[in-house]
Structures are given as C-alpha cells and as structure tokens.
C-alpha cells in the first residue's frame, strides 16, 4: 500500500506557516516532487517543467517538506551541460534514502553561532520523509531566458520582469520553505 504524501511525516517538527517574511515574496515559490528530480536526465527549465505540468506553487501542505537546492552555473548558457551536478544531487539523495548517511545536521558554523538551533535528522526519519518531499531547484523553479525568449524581444522583456521578481523572492522562499 502506498502512503499518500500528505500522510508522511514532516522532515522538521513544529512547523509554523510564515505569513510574512524578512524579504518580500513577490513571486510565489514554485516546487516539483523529489520523484521528478530523481528521473531528470538534465536540469530542466522552469518553462519546461511548467509546460509538462510538473511544477506547483507552494501550498501549506508543502511546509516542512521542501528541499532547497541551489547550484553553480558551469557555463553561461547551461548550468550543468554534462549533468555532473544533477548526478551528484541525485547521488546524495540516493545515499540518504539507502541509509548510507546516518545523520544530517546543521553546518558547524551555524551550530557555533546558534547552538540551540542544531537539528539532527536520522537516516530512518529521512527515509520516511523523502517520498513526500518537494524540491526547489533554481534552474527549474525560477523562470529564465530560453532560446524562445532570446529570439522574441517582447517575451524576453516579460520574462526578465518575472525573473527579477523570482530572484527577489529567493530569500523569502527559502525562509518559508522549511518552516
């Protein structure tokens, strides 16, 4: 029997919905399922995921179920041309799901600065939560300039406006994502 994702445990307990954030949320946080991430062969764009109906706007049900991933762009036109970063991301998720990583906890600098805020997540708890997790990956959750927009001045101007709003909303999205 498959457990409905909403019935799975939260990654963090004590979830509180933030109606306001330190930064403005002018573009709604967009998410896709972990299962979508795990079958990607390359980092898909926001426009591709939207067209394939694989992306969702953050909802109250997603709180405490978001993995926030930001990556480095390896060249100017494509963030991960050979798929190395995506393979590394999925490799870590597989190791976590297999229980090969016994615990996850806050970065040591955060632990020093905020000792009471350290959260330790066990492999078992992560395995229980992973099927219900949602992903925020900047390549797939923020509109970007694609070849189509690059060849159409009006579409490009509109996309740039949306892109600016989405980028300005990243801090608020990160703040709300795990709360």
What's the mean per-residue pLDDT of the chain? 79
Decide if 139 is inside a domain: yes
Comparing 149 with 82, the larger pLDDT belongs to 82
Q: Nearest 5°: phi and psi at 162?
A: -65, -40
Domain assignment present for 121: no
pTM beyond 0.85: the answer is no
The residue that leads in pLDDT, 85 or 143, is: 85
Q: Per the domain annotation, does 158 fall within a domain? A: yes
In a domain, 19, yes or no: no
In order of 35, 42, 43, 78, 176, the CA distances from 82 in angstroms are: 21, 8, 10, 9, 32
How far is 63 from 54, CA to CA, in rounded Å?
Answer: 18
Residue 111 falls within a domain, yes or no? no
Q: 150 phi and psi, to 5 degrees?
A: -65, -25
User: Each residue of 38-68: pLDDT tens digit?
Assistant: 999 999 988 899 999 999 888 766 667 888 8
Element (H, E) at 68: strand 66-69
Q: 102: number of CA atoms within 13 Å, CB side?
A: 0
The answer as to whether 36 is a domain residue is yes
Q: Which domain holds residue 152?
A: 27-103+132-177
Tell which wins on pLDDT, 173 or 15: 173
Cβ pair 130, 142 in contact under 8 A: no
**Banded pLDDT at 86 (limits 50, 70, 90):** very high
Phi, psi of 54 (to 5 degrees): -105, 0
Q: Is residue 82 part of a domain?
A: yes
Q: Note whether residue 116 is domain-resident.
A: no
Q: Using one digit for the tens of pLDDT, what is the confidence trace for 100-147?
A: 999 988 888 888 888 887 788 898 988 988 888 889 898 888 887 665
Number of domains in the chain: 1
């Amino acid at each position: 029997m498959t457990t409905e994702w909403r019935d799975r445990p939260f990654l963090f307990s004590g979830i509180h919905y933030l109606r306001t954030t330190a930064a403005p949320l002018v573009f709604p946080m967009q998410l896709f399922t972990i299962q979508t991430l795990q079958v990607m062969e390359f980092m898909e764009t926001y426009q591709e995921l939207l067209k394939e109906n694989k992306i969702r706007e953050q909802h109250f049900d997603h709180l405490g179920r978001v993995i926030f991933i930001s990556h480095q762009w390896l060249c100017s036109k494509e963030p991960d041309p050979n798929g190395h970063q995506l393979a590394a991301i999925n490799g870590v998720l597989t190791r976590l799901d297999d229980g090969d990583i016994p615990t996850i906890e806050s970065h040591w600098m955060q632990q020093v600065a905020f000792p009471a805020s350290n959260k330790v997540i066990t492999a078992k708890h992560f395995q229980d939560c992973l099927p219900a997790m949602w992903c925020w990956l900047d390549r797939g959750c923020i509109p970007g300039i694609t070849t189509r927009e690059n060849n159409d001045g009006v579409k490009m101007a509109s996309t740039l406006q949306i892109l600016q709003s989405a980028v300005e909303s990243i801090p608020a999205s990160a703040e709300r994502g795990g709360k």
